[in-house]
Amino acid sequence: MPIEIPTVRTAPLRLPAQLQGLQRLAYNLYWTWHPGLRIVFSRIDRAAWQRHRNPIPVLQAQRDWSSILDDVDFMVEYREQLERFDAYMANGHGQWFQRNHGEELSGPVAYFCAEFGLHESLGIYSGGLGVLAGDHCKAASDMALPFVAVGLFYRHGYFRQTIDADGHQEHAYPDLDPDRLPLMRVADESGDPLTVPVELPGRTVHVGVWLAQVGRVPLLLLDTDIPENDERDRPITHILYVRGREMRLHQELVLGIGGIRALRALDVKPAAWHLNEGHSAFMLVEQTREFVAAGVPLDEAFDRVRSGSVFTIHTPVQAGNERFDADMVRRIAGPETTDGGVDIERILELGRGMDGDASQFDMTAFTLRLTSGASAVSKLHAVTANATWSSVVGRPILAITNGVHAPSWVGGPVRELYHGIGAVLERLETERRKDRFWERLDRIPDERLWEAHQRQKQELAQFARGRLRAQFARHGESPNALAELSHAIDPPILTIGFARRFATYKRASLLFADEERLARLLHDEKRPVQIVFAGKAHPADRPGQRVIQEIFTRSRSPRLTGRVFILEDYDIRIARYLVQGCDVWLNNPRRPLEASGTSGMKAAMNGLINCSVLDGWWDEGYTGDNGWAIGGREQNPDEGAQDWSDAQDLYRLLEEQIIPTYYDRDDEGIPRAWVAMMRRSMASTLWRFSTSRMLEQYTELLYLPAAREEEAESRLALAAPAG
């Protein structure tokens, strides 16, 4: 059975008796990966659904239900969806965890992360880390893994991006109203809204708790913007990845300490603890304080905490790890830890980084030293991580390559093809056990696969044209210029997608190394090419913002206009359209700086073909017949020379392989060789780079061993003589 989290009774939605089930459907994010249920909500009020993409305001606005109740087709579909949901939630006995590991966990895995990307309407994520965390929760739900997640409720989320007429990125922060989101306030034992305390110098911050139910998995979101707090403390949880270092430290104290205390207040007893990145490292400090308060000596308390905790590191470079000034940590975290019997100097010592700088507290180093198992997010990343952190860890960092939640990312037309051959995306693990389902892809006729892909390209074109019109209307473009956008992103043209965070090492502008050569390719009369970019740079990342400006400026230049586009405000919705509707997915970071990357996995499951540097996941995903590799595995220490070499290889691939293969059509207009590569792209990723495979590995390599270690430590503690 799923973990039951008590909630304060929300103002009930005004629903007729026959439709009361819509309330529980709307308040469970199960709808984010079940398209049939989204169709039900959109049929209630299509305009409201398109505006909000979230069932809560759709149901709140509805006043006259008579036409809905009289719609026989709607009522039948509603009841079917409700029955499926209730059956899904009733138990997980037929799912992977219960079939394979039964009662091996005495409690859930507690998963802490600074961001969660579940759906575009809940904007508490910035990019890959958050989307991975959201996919992790969805897969845990599908596989019935006992699981509870903890994060922060950012009422102003991550910034919304606009790009002005000069290509400058502009930032605006939304106001997320919890009453208009699929969130419920968590209740305490008396039924009142739960708050937990986090002590800071001279005051106590009260932390409210919201529940986002993700299928069977509860996600607890911590919130300091509540009336019980002083005005200076209410903004602590307002903004994801806030610039100010001291405010960031406050956030991470709330996440780590407040998260533990919320679980304790709810009597949730995790069997293992998973820190996804080091932002939640203070949960290890809080657990240490609990043991010391119970009379356990400090060093033994460290051992106890270490035994049940595991960690995933997400960056291959030391500069990408969270670090704080040690004096700041002493000043802000020191009073509580010291009062709790934990010497802050011991904490700072455990957090000394690879450079040995005692003035810095390195969250990654601290977490590695105080967990029993650690994983990197690809095989190549594990090599880099072990080389970097070997003196800190003292044990191998495992390679558990990231995966993606296929039901959340595969487009409708391609999903129908999978289901037609019996590959149920929600139960990939079950299908894998029955037979090698990816081999059944050969049963899909070329014509049907190509047709499904063209439908998804058309959907991308329609969506992108609307976005571009709004973007350029804001820039003051003429009506004629806006009318021309009706032909932008022309589906028959070979379409290359590039969408990710605009960090400089990702080299978004590599394609423009030789603009004249690129222009010839883009505007070839018989074999044209178009490129769609999307992505944000952090508000503090000026170099990344300059890359955005460069690409925007080039897209408006006479040489490239009409063939290069940049979509603003990259989010989960834009990502879905791009990974479903492009032809080629381009990724060209400087190897080995891309720890994993997951967008290429999503694209491949939709039949897109990757063209990428052999970095991150593609280093192990490339098979020679499922895409293209830019360059090789050797790196030139001269970055400029390496950039030029990779650009030349990319142009060569486009000219000699990618473009000719795409435009080589038979009498029926089908590019047979291209479709064969699409099929290989799908077959080689659907299982290997799924969250189903990823969760199997996490469970068997990290969660179960950590749970056994924690249980053994508990038995030893019980057997130890008193006093």
DSSP per residue over 259-301, as a string?
A: HHHHHHHTT---SEEEEESGGGTHHHHHHHHHHHHTT--HHHH
Across 343-362, average pLDDT = 94
Q: What span, in angstroms and rounded, lies between the C-alpha atoms of 79 and 674?
A: 42
- Report d(CA 606, CA 583) in Å as an integer: 10
8 A C-beta contact, residue 398 and residue 694: no
pLDDT in tens, 363-373: 999 999 999 99
The CA distance from 649 to 612, in Å, is: 11
Other CB atoms within 10 Å distance of the CB of residue 384: 20
Nearest to 181 by CA among 133, 236, 219: 219
Q: Is-contact 563 523, C-beta < 8 A? A: yes
Percent of the chain with pLDDT over 70: 96
**Is the C-alpha dihedral spanning 622, 624, 625, 630 positive or negative?**
positive
The model's confidence at residue 425, banded by pLDDT at 50, 70 and 90, is confident
User: Does residue 639 have a pLDDT over 50?
Assistant: yes
Cα–Cα dist 535/549, whole Å:
12
Which of these ranges, 170-174, 431-435, 633-637, has the smallest mean pLDDT? 431-435
Amino acid at 250: H
Which residue, 405, 383, 252, is CA-closest to 321?
A: 252
More confident: 237 or 340: 237
CATH architecture entry for 409-689:
3-Layer(aba) Sandwich (3.40)
The model's confidence at residue 13, banded by pLDDT at 50, 70 and 90, is: confident
**What count of other Cβ atoms lies within 10 Å of the Cβ of residue 160?**
16
Burial class (CB in 10 A: 0-12, 13-18, 19+), 73: exposed
pLDDT at 28: 98
- The Cα-based distances of 97 to 102, 182, 433, 698, 704 in angstroms read 6, 27, 14, 12, 11
From the centroid of its chain, how far is CA 290?
Answer: 31
Q: Please report how many Cα atoms fall inside a 13 Å half-sphere around the Cα of residue 363, on the Cβ side.
A: 27
Angle at 468 between CA 467 and CA 472, to 5 degrees: 125
| pLDDT at site 434 | 52
For 248, half-sphere exposure in the C-beta direction (CA atoms, 13 angstrom radius) is 16
H or E element, residue 76: helix 72-90
Average pLDDT value over all residues in the chain: 94
Three-state SS sequence of 188-218? CCCCCECEEEEEECCEEEEEEEEEEEECCEE
Which range (146-155, 331-340, 552-561) has the least confidence? 331-340
| Pair 673, 664: CB distance under 8 Å | yes
Residue 427 has what DSSP assignment?
G
Q: What is the pLDDT of residue 318?
A: 62
Contact between 340 and 408 under an 8 Å Cβ cutoff? The reply is: no
The continuous run of DSSP H or E covering 558 comes out as none
Sequence-ordered list of residues with C-beta below 8 angstroms from that of 217, at least 6 positions apart, any chain: 2, 137, 138, 140, 141, 147, 148, 149
Q: Is the pLDDT of residue 435 over 60?
A: no
Residue 249, both tokens: 């430290």
Is residue 722 predicted with pLDDT exceeding 50? no
> Which among 245, 283, 267, 265 is positioned nearest to 111, based on CA atoms?
283
pLDDT mean over 217-234: 97
Q: Residue 664, CB half-sphere, CA atoms under 13 Å: how many?
A: 11
570-612 pLDDT tens trace: 999 999 999 999 999 999 999 999 999 999 999 999 999 999 9
Pairing of strands 203-214, 184-185: antiparallel
Mean pLDDT, range 222-246, rounded to an integer: 96
Q: What pLDDT, on a 0 to 100 scale, did the predictor assign at position 160?
A: 96
The SS3 of residue 234 is: helix
CB 625 within 8 A of CB 489: no
- The confidence score (pLDDT) of residue 340 equals 86
Q: Taking the domains of the chain in order of start, what are their residue ranges?
A: 17-90, 286-306+318-405+690-718, 409-689
Q: What crossing angle do the helices spanning 446-474 and 672-685 adopt, rounded to 10°?
A: 90
Q: Where are the alpha helices (DSSP H) in 486-598?
A: 515-522, 542-555, 572-581
Q: Which residues pair with 374 in a beta bridge?
A: 311
Q: Which of 569, 627, 616, 558 is nearest to 590 (CA)?
A: 616
- The residues with which 444 forms a beta bridge, in sequence order, are none
Closest of 510, 558, 509, 501 to residue 535, by C-alpha: 501
Is residue 198 predicted with pLDDT exceeding 70? yes
Split at pLDDT 50, 70, 90, the class of 463 is very high
Q: Is the pLDDT of residue 723 over 50?
A: no
Token pair in block for residue 562: 């009409």
Confidence of residue 381 (pLDDT cuts 50, 70, 90): very high
Confidence of residue 234 (pLDDT cuts 50, 70, 90): very high
* Per-residue tokens: 179: 């009453």
> Rounded distance, CA 404 to CA 150, Å?
20
C-alpha R_g of the chain = 26
CA distance 287 to 711: 15
Give the separation between CA 399 and CA 269, rounded to whole angstroms: 28
Contact 646, 513 (CB under 8 A): no
pLDDT at 440 exceeding the cut of 90? no
Q: What is the pTM of this model?
A: 0.96
Distance CA 80, CA 66 (A): 20
pLDDT in tens, 269-312: 999 999 999 999 999 999 999 999 999 999 999 999 999 999 99
For residue 534 the two structure tokens come to 């999307």
Is the per-residue pLDDT at 657 higher than 80? Answer: yes
Buried b (16+ CB within 10 A) or exposed e, 449-467: bbebbebbbebbbebbbeb
Residue 146 has pLDDT above 50, yes or no: yes
Strand ranges for 300-369 from DSSP E? 309-312, 323-325, 360-362
**pLDDT exceeds cutoff 70 at 89:** yes
Residue for token digits 């949730």?
268
Rounded distance, CA 678 to CA 539, Å?
37
Query: What would the mean pLDDT of 679-685 be, rounded to a whole number?
Result: 96
Which residues, in sequence order, are CB contacts of 135 under 8 Å at separation 6+? 403, 404, 405, 408, 598, 691
- pLDDT tens digits, residue range 495-511? 999 999 999 999 999 99
Residue 721 has pLDDT above 50, yes or no: no
β-strands 309-312, 323-325 pairing: unpaired
- Is residue 645 predicted with pLDDT exceeding 90? yes
